[in-house]
Structure 1
Amino acid sequence: MPKARHSRLQTKLLQGINALAKDAQLTYAFFELRCTFGDRSLVPDIAVFSWERIVFDASGEPVDDVQQAPDWVIEILSPQQSPNRVAGKLLHCL
């Protein structure tokens, strides 16, 4: 589980991305969103999708089950995390 500095950095990055791109409907960044694709599910620290790739329901809300790879994945490597495992997640997204 993320610790304080990890969570703080994650929040700042997500808020910065959304502050610049959300209102213009360019992209939207999500915290720890489960993305299922290629017979595998990943939960990156931040998943960013271009606006036109976000699937919305009838009420205009993003659908809960995301069945595609994000356009941009941000992983914050904590000291106790394996760099190889994080790199593997990033490679799967590519």
Structure 2
Amino acid sequence: MGSWLMVSTALQPVTLTEFMQLHNIEESPAWELLHGQVLQKPMPTFYHSLLQKHLVRAIDNTNSIYEAFPELRCILSKNSVVPDITIVHQRRIPVANQPIQGAPDWIIEILSVDQSVTKLIAKIQDCLAEGTQLGWLIDSQEEVIMVFVPDQPLLLARGDMALTVLDEMALQLTPNQIFGWLKR
């Protein structure tokens, strides 16, 4: 599958319909469709998985109307994305084994060493354009969290700065707390 995908995307863009018919797009790590390009996510590192685990737990422990899921596919109008963490309102959780239809309410991406910052920002911006209310891009190397909110300038959160979360969520986190999870 991998070599066919590489050859296919090099020749011509793939449509969402074509992509969704491909076999094994859910293999680990998952495949995504971004602007006609089929891309496989990198294999997560230990620190990546540790941040994912702690963030999902912290978000779900708020007992809000939102739930967090690691690596859950979201189907946008032309793209198929698998955010590191997808946060959606409870009413949007599929009843069957299906992806989320539409952009997540909140998207969290954790930058891996071999990932393109530009592609992750583009993914977050695509989600914001389709209804996402909040995006975080976590860079553990620089210990900064880029906070994306529609129609607002990019915020670079560091140190003990309170991070923006969804309005209906009682969650207080700072970059220092999040990066502290990596310092065991």
Q: Is TM (by shorter chain) over 0.5?
A: yes
1:17 lines up with 2:59 in the alignment? yes
Show CA shifts across 1:28-62 (max 9, x none): 111100111112100000000012332335xxxxx
How many residues align structurally? 86
Partner of 2:113: 79
1:5 lines up with 2:39 in the alignment? no
What is the rounded CA distance, in whole Å, between the counterparts of 1:7 and 1:54 in structure 2? 23
Partner of 1:45: 84
Partner of 1:69: 103
Aligned-residue identity in percent:
42
What is the rounded CA distance, in whole Å, between the counterparts of 1:36 and 1:7 in structure 2? 23
Segments of structure 2 that go 5 or more residues without pairing to the other structure are 1-42, 129-184
Tell me the CA shift for residue 20 of structure 1.
1.2
What is the rounded CA distance, in whole Å, between the counterparts of 1:53 and 1:34 in structure 2? 13
Segments of structure 1 that go 5 or more residues without pairing to the other structure are 58-62
CA RMSD of aligned residues (A): 1.4
AA in 2 matched with 1:10: Q
- Are the counterparts in 1 of residues 68 and 86 from structure 2 also a CA contact under 8 Å? yes
What is the rounded CA distance, in whole Å, between the counterparts of 1:11 and 1:87 in structure 2? 22
Q: TM-score, normalised by structure 1?
A: 0.83
The structure with the largest alpha-carbon Rg is 2
Tell me the CA shift for residue 79 of structure 1.
2.2
- Are the counterparts in 1 of residues 72 and 99 from structure 2 also a CA contact under 8 Å? no
